[in-house]
Copies of this chain bind each other. A is one copy, B any other.
Amino acid sequence: MDVIVGGGIVGLSIAWRLARSGRPVTVVDPAPASGASHAAAGMLAPVSEVTYTETPLLRLGMASLRRWPSFAAELAEDAGWADRAAASDGATPVADAGGRGARAGASGGPGAGPPSGGPGVGPFGGLEIGEGPRRGLDLRADGTLDVAFGADDLAALDELAAYMDKLGLPVERLTGRECRRLEPMLAPSVRGGLLAPEDAWVDPRRVTAALLVALDRLQVPLVRARAAGLLRDADGKVVGVRLEPSREPSEIRAERVVLAAGAWSAELADVPVRPIKGQIMRLRSPQPLLSRCVRGTVHGSYVYLVPRGDGELVVGATQEELGFDTRVTAGGLYELLRDARELVPGVSELEVADVVAGLRPGTPDNLPIIGPSGTPGLTLATGHYRGGVLLAPLTAALVLADSGGSGGSGDSGDVGGLGDSGSSRRSGGSGDVGGLGGLGGLGGEEGELAALCSPGRFREIS
């Protein structure tokens, strides 16, 4: 049996994919789905988040983004949410055939047009999202608009556009007027923008809720306790976890422990992971103010706005190195409000629904740490920093591949399909088998991706 330590989006995704493949698995977490995954905005935006030094992260992000539609479709199906109406968009319910398209291999319902060019498909052959994941998980692929106010910002945007172009990334440089045509609520002071039309986003709270339902349906035990340490045998091999004192049972034996404890991972193993605090706010709007993600740099600090289907607008996020501090502070809230108002003045009228702080698991090189550690019996799946939601499908696939199993097309379906915008990208599951590349092993592109996040790159991990 595998024990997954950590019930955030990464740990739950791994548990779900393993359980789905037939492996016995147990999840240990004192409060599942309440940490960084609960705070996260859910941007799936490898393109607009690209920075000059982080092309490995871009590569991981692109590979995981491609997995999101089928991952989400299968999850919505497994959770029984494929037909679930969206919380608020008030649309008529989708037809059954469409809503259940994910697993049944049907066409994906309304909006599922031809492979490229139909509704929901971006000009660069972006993701196509089925009705199930869109309604159930609020998964959308309507792009990110990065805006600039001053001359310096504009110059930086031009440089970034040139760099992205060189990388072959799909972006469009827009004037201020073009930005406001796309997003009429933008501030009049916006002077230009960069559109990443294929960037996507999802509601991480819905995803973890769906994962918990799916795990429950698969009868995966969820032990609500804190893992206080690893059990080792005489040879040093990890053979399970010890639970915090006073718990019954006080330990769980396992063939493999998968450490997915996010910012808390360093408490259990020698991994270079530290907490990076983020404060984030949710506003409630009668109707959506924006139709895509909007981000920008205001007063030197970076802010983004993520619109949910139900009108909620997520405003994030601070970046603070303060240890295990999850207080929502006056200063953090002030910055979020100031910068959000600068981007979209109309947010002033919106109701404040929720403010939370989460701890991102940061690493020295901002890349996650995924794969077998130097210690037999211990696999790592941590250090996802700002990318836990984006990278969850890829992480689960890498851990599953390392287990020698495959739970379905979502695990590796698109691995060989870089740049392929054909039917394997559709919301259906069973139609994806054409792209199987490194199944059951770590060859091909999957092997390259695994190498990028290998624990072996850090000397202290043994």
Contacts and interface: CB of A to CB of B under 8 A. Distances in A.
Interface residues of A, number: 20
Interface in A305-342: 327-331, 333-334, 337-338, 340-341
Given A352-B355, A355-B352, A334 B334 contact: yes
A283 interface: yes
A281 to B, nearest CB: 8
A349 interface: yes
B349 A329 contact: yes
Contact of A330 (B328, B330, B337): B337
Interface string A340-360: 110000011111100100000
Given A352-B355, A355-B352, A333 B328 contact: no
Interface string A270-298: 00000000000101000000000000000
Given A352-B355, A355-B352, A334 B331 contact: no
Contacts of A350: 329-330
Nearest to A281: B330
A313 to B, nearest CB: 9
Contacts of A330: 281, 283, 337, 340-341, 347-352
A191 B182 CA distance: 47
Contacts of A347: 330-331
A329 B355 contact: no
A325 B142 CA distance: 33
A291 to B, nearest CB: 19
Nearest to A350: B330
B341 A331 contact: yes
A333 B337 contact: yes
Interface in A7-49: none
A287 B338 CA distance: 27
A328 B351 contact: yes
A298 to B, nearest CB: 13
Nearest to A334: B337
Interface centre among A330, A337, A338 (most CB of B within 10 A): A330
Contacts of A334: 334, 337-338, 341, 348
A331 B351 contact: no
Contacts of A281: 330
A352 B328 CA distance: 6
B338 A338 contact: yes
A340 B340 CA distance: 19
Interface string A374-415: 000000000000000000000000000000000000000000
B327 A348 contact: no
Nearest to A313: B330
A289 to B, nearest CB: 11
Contacts of A351: 327-330
Contacts of A331: 341, 347-349
Contacts of A340: 330
A398 B163 CA distance: 76
Nearest to A348: B331
A259 to B, nearest CB: 30
Nearest to A327: B351
A206 to B, nearest CB: 23
B338 A352 contact: no
Contacts of A328: 351-352
A341 B332 CA distance: 12
Nearest to A325: B351
A340 B337 CA distance: 14
Contacts of A283: 330
A283 B341 CA distance: 22
21 contacts: A283-B330, A327-B351, A327-B352, A328-B351, A329-B348, A329-B350, A329-B352, A330-B340, A330-B341, A330-B347, A330-B349, A330-B350, A331-B349, A333-B333, A333-B337, A333-B352, A334-B337, A334-B338, A334-B348, A337-B337, A338-B338
Given A329-B348, A330-B347, A333-B337, 11 more contacts: A283-B330, A328-B351, A328-B352, A329-B349, A330-B341, A331-B341, A331-B347, A331-B348, A333-B352, A334-B338, A334-B341
User: 6 smallest A-B Cβ distances: which pairs?
Assistant: A331-B348, A334-B337, A327-B351, A328-B352, A330-B347, A330-B350
